[in-house]
C-alpha cells in the first residue's frame, strides 16, 4: 500500500464562515494536494422563488452581515433592470456613497480585526494571543485606528440607511430617502480623520510587510487571470462599468465585457467535497480558467484609481512587481489602497451639490422579465441574476459571489503554502497559522458565497493514503 497521509485543518478561524482544509501527503510525506472545503449551506437561490422581486434587495442583504450593502446594491441593480428604468442621478450617487462606505468598513474589518494579528504578532504567534486584543496590547494606536476606520464606514451606512447592518434603504429604482444637508455635513466632518488613518495604516502595512518575504513568495504567488469592473476609461469603480480580465503580465485579455452577459464567459463548477462552487473563465476551461477577484485583482485590472492619494498609493503598489502583482499576500495592501480611494470618493460625492437632490427614486412596474445586477463587493465582483413572471414574482435566481470566484485560487494558495511549510506527518503551529493566513488574505466570506449559515472555526486533518487520519488539530 502506498504511504500517503492527509492533514485536515478544521475549522479555519478568523474568517467569515465555516470551513476546513485537508492536505494530502504522498508516500514521501510531501503535500500532493490541498483542498479548502466550505462546509456550510444556505439555499438563498431556492427559497426566494415565489417572492415579489421588490423584496429581493432586503432579502438578499440577509446573506451577509458584513457586506449587506453590496448585496443590496447588486440586487437593486438587478431589480432596476426588471423595472427597465434609469434611476435618478442623485440616487446613483447615493448608492455609490453607500457602497464606498461599505468597502471602508469591510476592508477595515478584514485587515485590522482579522489579519492584523498575523501581520503584527507574526505567523508563529500563540493563537491564544492572535486577536484584536493581542494587537491592542502590542500596538494600541493601530487597534484604535482599525476600529475608528470601521466606525467611519458603519456610521455613514447608518446615517444613510437608518441602521448599520441590513439597512433597507436601497430599493428597486433608487433609494427610499434623500440625504439631508445635516447628515451630509456630519459625514464630511469625519472624512479627514478617516483619510489620515487610511494613509498612516498604509505606511504601517508597508513596513510590517517587509519581514514577510518568505510568505510573500509562497502565499498564492502564481500566475492567474484577474477580473474586475472598470469604467470606460479603465478607472477603478465599485458601482458599475465593464468587466476587464488581465493576465499575469497585467495585459488585458478581455475588456469591455458586458457584466449582464456574464454567463457567456464565466462558468461555475461543483466539486463533491465543498458546498462552494468554483467559478472559471469559460474560454480557458476548467480549471485553467482560474481567475482572482477582489482588491488585488481590481488594482491589477484598473488603469487608474482616479483620486490623488489612491493613485499615488497605486503607483507604489504597481512598483511591487512588474506586470500584475501576483502574490495574494498583497491583497492586504490592495485593500488599504482601495480604502484610501473610497474615503476620497466619499468626500468627492458629498461635495457634489446634486447629492442633496430630493428626487431619488424612479417608479415603474415590471417591464422586463429578466435582470442582472453587478457591482464590486469588497471581496470581488458580485452577480445577482433574477427571472420573474409577469406579476413580478421571482421564478429563478442565480448568484455568483466573490469568494466562489476566488475558490480555485484559494485552493491553489493553500497547496502552495502547505508544500512549502509542511514537513513530515506532524502539524506545526506555524504551518497551521500560515495556511489560515493565506485563506485570510482573500478575506473569504463563506456565508455569502454559499449563501449559508455558519460559525468561525478551523480544523486541520492529516490523512494517510489509506484514509486514516494520522494527525488532527481543531481550533474553535
Partner 1 sequence: MSATGAVRTLKIDGRDCSARPQATILEVARENKIFIPRLCQLEGLSTVGACRLCLVEVKGSNKLLPACTTTVDEGMEITTSSEELASYRRMIVELLFTEGNHICSVCVSNGHCELQTMAQRLGVTHIHLPYRYPKKQVDASHERFVLDHNRCVLCTRCVRVCDEIEGAHTWDLMGRGIDSKVITDLNQPWGSSESCTSCGKCVQVCPTGALFEKGRSVAEMEKRRQFLPYLTLMRGERT
Terminal-residue alpha carbon distance, the chain: 35
Among 272, 363, 467, 476, binds partner 1 (CB under 8 A): 363
Among 198, 161, 195, which residue's Cα sits nearest to residue 71? 161
Residues 157-216 that bind partner 1 (CB under 8 A): 166, 168, 171-172, 176
Q: What is the CA radius of gyration of the chain?
A: 22
Q: Which three cell numbers stand for residue 457?
A: 472555526
C-beta closer to partner 1: residue 196 or 393: 393
Among 6, 22, 58, 221, binds partner 1 (CB under 8 A): 58
**Nearest distance from C-beta of residue 393 to partner 1, angstroms:** 5
Q: Which segment (50-58, 135-143, 234-242, 451-459) binds partner 1 by CB under 8 A?
A: 50-58
- Is 51 a binder of partner 1 (CB under 8 A)? yes
Q: Print the binding letters for residues 281-310 with partner 1: x by CB under 8 A, - otherwise.
A: ------------------------------
Q: Which segment (137-145, 223-231, 287-295, 388-396) binds partner 1 by CB under 8 A?
A: 388-396
Residue written as cell 441593480? 77
Q: Which three cell numbers stand for residue 347?
A: 468626500
Residue 24's H or E segment, with its range, is strand 19-25
HEC profile of 135-171: HHHHCHHHHHHHHHHHHHHHHHHHHHHCCCCCCCCEE
**Nearest distance from C-beta of residue 49 to partner 1, angstroms:** 11
Q: Which three cell numbers stand for residue 403?
A: 469568494
Full strand arrangement of the beta sheet holding 291-292: 252-257, 242-246, 225-230, 291-292
As a whole number of angstroms, the distance between CA 419 and CA 271 comes to 22
Among 5, 31, 36, 57, binds partner 1 (CB under 8 A): 57
- Is 387 a binder of partner 1 (CB under 8 A)? no
- Is 147 a binder of partner 1 (CB under 8 A)? no
Q: Which segment (36-44, 122-130, 263-271, 391-399) binds partner 1 by CB under 8 A?
A: 391-399
C-beta closer to partner 1: residue 62 or 231: 62
Q: Which three cell numbers stand for residue 119?
A: 501581520
Is the distance from CB of 244 to CB of 257 less than 8 angstroms? yes
Give 202's Cβ-side CA count (13 Å radius). Answer: 22
Size of the site for partner 1 (CB under 8 A): 19
As a whole number of angstroms, the distance between CA 82 and CA 151 comes to 34
**Nearest distance from C-beta of residue 52 to partner 1, angstroms:** 6
C-beta closer to partner 1: residue 157 or 297: 157
As a whole number of angstroms, the distance between CA 23 and CA 408 comes to 15
Among 1, 181, 232, 365, binds partner 1 (CB under 8 A): 365
- Is 234 a binder of partner 1 (CB under 8 A)? no
- Interface contacts to partner 1, rule CB under 8 A: 50-52, 54-55, 57-59, 62, 166, 168, 171-172, 176, 363, 365, 391-393
Amino acid at each position: 500500500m502506498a504511504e500517503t497521509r492527509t492533514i485536515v485543518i478544521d475549522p479555519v478561524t478568523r474568517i467569515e464562515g465555516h470551513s476546513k482544509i485537508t492536505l494530502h501527503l504522498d508516500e514521501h510525506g510531501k503535500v500532493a494536494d490541498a483542498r479548502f472545503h466550505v462546509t456550510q449551506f444556505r439555499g438563498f437561490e431556492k427559497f426566494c422563488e415565489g417572492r415579489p422581486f421588490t423584496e429581493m434587495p432586503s432579502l438578499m442583504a440577509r446573506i451577509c452581515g458584513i457586506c449587506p450593502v453590496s448585496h443590496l446594491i447588486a440586487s437593486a441593480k438587478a431589480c432596476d433592470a426588471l423595472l427597465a428604468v434609469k434611476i435618478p442621478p442623485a440616487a446613483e450617487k447615493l448608492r455609490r456613497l453607500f457602497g464606498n462606505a461599505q468597502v471602508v468598513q469591510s476592508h477595515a474589518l478584514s485587515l485590522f480585526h482579522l489579519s492584523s494579528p498575523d501581520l503584527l504578532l507574526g505567523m508563529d504567534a500563540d493563537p491564544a494571543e492572535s486577536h484584536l486584543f493581542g494587537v491592542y496590547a502590542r500596538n494600541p494606536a493601530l487597534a484604535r485606528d482599525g476600529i475608528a476606520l470601521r466606525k467611519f464606514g458603519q456610521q455613514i451606512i447608518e446615517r444613510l440607511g437608518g441602521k448599520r447592518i441590513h439597512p433597507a434603504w436601497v430599493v428597486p429604482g433608487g433609494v427610499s430617502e434623500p440625504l439631508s444637508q445635516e447628515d451630509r455635513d456630519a459625514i464630511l466632518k469625519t472624512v479627514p480623520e478617516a483619510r489620515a488613518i487610511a494613509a498612516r495604516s498604509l505606511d504601517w502595512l508597508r513596513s510590517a510587510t517587509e519581514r514577510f518575504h518568505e510568505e510573500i513568495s509562497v502565499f498564492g504567488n502564481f500566475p492567474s487571470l484577474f477580473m474586475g469592473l472598470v469604467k470606460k476609461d479603465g478607472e477603478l469603480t465599485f458601482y458599475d462599468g465593464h468587466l476587464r480580465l488581465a493576465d499575469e503580465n497585467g495585459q488585458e485579455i478581455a475588456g469591455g465585457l458586458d457584466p449582464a452577459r456574464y454567463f457567456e464567459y464565466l462558468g461555475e463548477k461543483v466539486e463533491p467535497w465543498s458546498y462552494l462552487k468554483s467559478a472559471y473563465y469559460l474560454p480557458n476551461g476548467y480549471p485553467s480558467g482560474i481567475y482572482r477577484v477582489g482588491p488585488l485583482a481590481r488594482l491589477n485590472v484598473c488603469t487608474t484609481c482616479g483620486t490623488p492619494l489612491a493613485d499615488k498609493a497605486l503607483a507604489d503598489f504597481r512598483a511591487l512587481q512588474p506586470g500584475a502583482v501576483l502574490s495574494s499576500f498583497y491583497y492586504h495592501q490592495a485593500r488599504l489602497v482601495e480604502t484610501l480611494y473610497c474615503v476620497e470618493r466619499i468626500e468627492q460625492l458629498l461635495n457634489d451639490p446634486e447629492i442633496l437632490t430630493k428626487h431619488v427614486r424612479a417608479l415603474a412596474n415590471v417591464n422586463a422579465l429578466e435582470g442582472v445586477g453587478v457591482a464590486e463587493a469588497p471581496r470581488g465582483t458580485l452577480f445577482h441574476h433574477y427571472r420573474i413572471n409577469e406579476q413580478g414574482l421571482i421564478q429563478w435566481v442565480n448568484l455568483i459571489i466573490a469568494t466562489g470566484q476566488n475558490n480555485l485560487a484559494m485552493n491553489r494558495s493553500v497547496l502552495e503554502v502547505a508544500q512549502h511549510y509542511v514537513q513530515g506527518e506532524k502539524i506545526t503551529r506555524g504551518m497551521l497559522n500560515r495556511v489560515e493566513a493565506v485563506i485570510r488574505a482573500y478575506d473569504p466570506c463563506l456565508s455569502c458565497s454559499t449563501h449559508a449559515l455558519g460559525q468561525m472555526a478551523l480544523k486541520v486533518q492529516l490523512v494517510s493514503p489509506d484514509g486514516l487520519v494520522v494527525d488532527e488539530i481543531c481550533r474553535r
